[in-house]
Amino acid sequence: MKMEQRSFIIKGNICYTKTMGCLDVADQAYLVCEAGVCQGVFPVLPSRFKGLPMIDYKEDLVIPGMVDLHVHAPQYPFRGLGMDLELMEWLQAHTFPEESRYADLAYAKDAYETFVRDLQKSVTTRAVVFGTVHTPATELLMGMLDACGLVTYVGKVNMDQNCPDSLQDGGVQEALAQTAAWLQATLGKYRHTYPVLTPRFAPACSGQMLEGLGKLQKEYGVPVQSHLSENLSEIALVTSLFPWASCYGDVYTHYGLFGGAAKTVMAHCVYSSDREVKQIKENGVYVAHCPQSNTNLSSGIAPIRKYLDRGVAVGLGTDIAGGATLSMLRCITDAVGVSKLYWRLVDQQDKPLSMEEAFYLATKGGGAFFGNVGSFEEGYELDALVLDDREISSTRQLSTKERLERYLYLAQEGGRLVAKYVAGAPVLL
């Protein structure tokens, strides 16, 4: 059976997006996968593929898998709770106390099992994930994520200031040594889980820590994830801690943790200055836009249209537990919604994101961080979702595009994820 070689054909109503803003729709078409790689979408099946097994999903929607560019696994236990604080207070009141618990591996196992099971059942196929400072708990999480079949980057967090002692990992040298050991232990260990360097954010890292992490980046060639310009108090703190920096992003740049050779994703960028945006663009840094989190923590609205106009690489993130839900569908509609409010309340030069544009960000936009991911073009790794919307009540005949739009807004009213493939391998739902 060739399914085992990840070579097969999916038939259904196929929607994806090659170009920002344009939805490619092919009804009752054939999506061909060979060895996990997409061969394209065909209205009529080319004869060269006729030997492959075919799964006919009939009227179901078939779309690319969703990429969550920013999610904190250890914060999952308090998602949807404590939604009344801003970032810095919220970290002290809710986040740090919860993250401290992951020193206890039994607690970590229990909590991460819940997170991984829910992520597995979600529409997410790939994710860039924060762990905690704890190496054993982070390795546990990496193993679980690998076993569930998603492709993930996972970071052991580093921080050594402006956080509780219990989360400081025994001083800079000790923390850096542990981080090096963790990289050695996990690089190449898993099928599709990879380590990512994870300075929590500039306010929680000394220059010494950032310098050490920059060296590790060069030595091991691993990517980087962190937070950037999320909240006004946070930015003020960065300015006071790193007075020499021309902008928040400059702190990371200074230590070699901001794109260029170091593939980097920065969450939020709500208040990035022109200078910072220029660095983001020039260094090829990815922006993980987290609209629900930016709303829940009263941070503001990131000017995503401006970033897109300047050619910045943008994807979407749920940012659990700043965001309450793992649903990337909700993330798409939230991205559309806050962009409308930004247009209305802040800058009418920045037209709102369309559904198709936000869908692009959640698939091909964030997918680019993983390579050729997030589209059904030839040569892309085949991540796909099969969606059944029959239980979402309707009295209309809907086009496939309308069904997709409605699924994004109303999946919770009876939408069902029928199947999920990552690089051509089915994921157990």
Q: For residues 219 and 177, is the Cβ–Cβ distance under 8 A?
A: no
Token pair listed for 406: 């409605």
Beta strand residue intervals within 277-354, DSSP E: 286-289, 313-316
Closest to 371 (Cα-Cα) out of 35, 126, 123: 126
- In angstroms, the Cα distances linking 408 to 79, 118, 134, 378, 396 are 21, 18, 36, 25, 17
**Choice between 195 and 322, CB closer to a second copy:** 322
The reply on whether position 118 binds a second copy by CB under 8 A is yes
**Choice between 178 and 354, CB closer to a second copy:** 354
The reply on whether position 290 binds a second copy by CB under 8 A is no
The reply on whether position 394 binds a second copy by CB under 8 A is yes
**Choice between 190 and 343, CB closer to a second copy:** 343
Token pair listed for 375: 């589209």
- Which one of the spans 103-111, 168-176, 254-262, 303-311 is the region binding a second copy (CB under 8 A)? 103-111
Q: Which of 106, 311, 393, 428 binds a second copy (CB under 8 A)?
A: 393
The reply on whether position 90 binds a second copy by CB under 8 A is no
**Choice between 121 and 189, CB closer to a second copy:** 121
Minimum distance from residue 338 beta carbon to a second copy (Å): 7
Report whether the peptide linkage leading into residue 103 is cis, meaning its omega lies within 30 degrees of zero: no
The reply on whether position 295 binds a second copy by CB under 8 A is yes
The reply on whether position 412 binds a second copy by CB under 8 A is yes
- In angstroms, the Cα distances linking 117 to 3, 73, 195 are 24, 11, 20
Q: Which of 55, 83, 103, 245 binds a second copy (CB under 8 A)?
A: 83
Q: For residues 152 and 128, is the Cβ–Cβ distance under 8 A?
A: yes
**Choice between 96 and 258, CB closer to a second copy:** 96
Closest to 183 (Cα-Cα) out of 144, 223, 148, 146: 223
**Choice between 19 and 184, CB closer to a second copy:** 19
Minimum distance from residue 20 beta carbon to a second copy (Å): 15
Q: Which of 36, 406, 416, 418 binds a second copy (CB under 8 A)?
A: 406
Residue identified by tokens 């993130």 is: 317
The count of other CB atoms within 10 Å of the CB of residue 285 is: 27
Q: For residues 154 and 141, is the Cβ–Cβ distance under 8 A?
A: yes
Residue numbers 19-78 binding a second copy by CB under 8 A: 77-78
Q: Which of 405, 422, 424, 427 binds a second copy (CB under 8 A)?
A: 405
Minimum distance from residue 298 beta carbon to a second copy (Å): 4
Minimum distance from residue 324 beta carbon to a second copy (Å): 4
**Choice between 11 and 401, CB closer to a second copy:** 401
Q: For residues 317 and 68, is the Cβ–Cβ distance under 8 A?
A: yes
User: 47-51 — which CB contacts under 8 Å span 24+ positions?
Assistant: 49/9, 51/2
Site residues (vs a second copy, CB under 8 A): 77-84, 107, 110-111, 114, 117-118, 292, 295-301, 324-325, 327, 333, 336-338, 340-341, 343-346, 352, 354-355, 393-396, 398, 402, 405-406, 408-410, 412-413
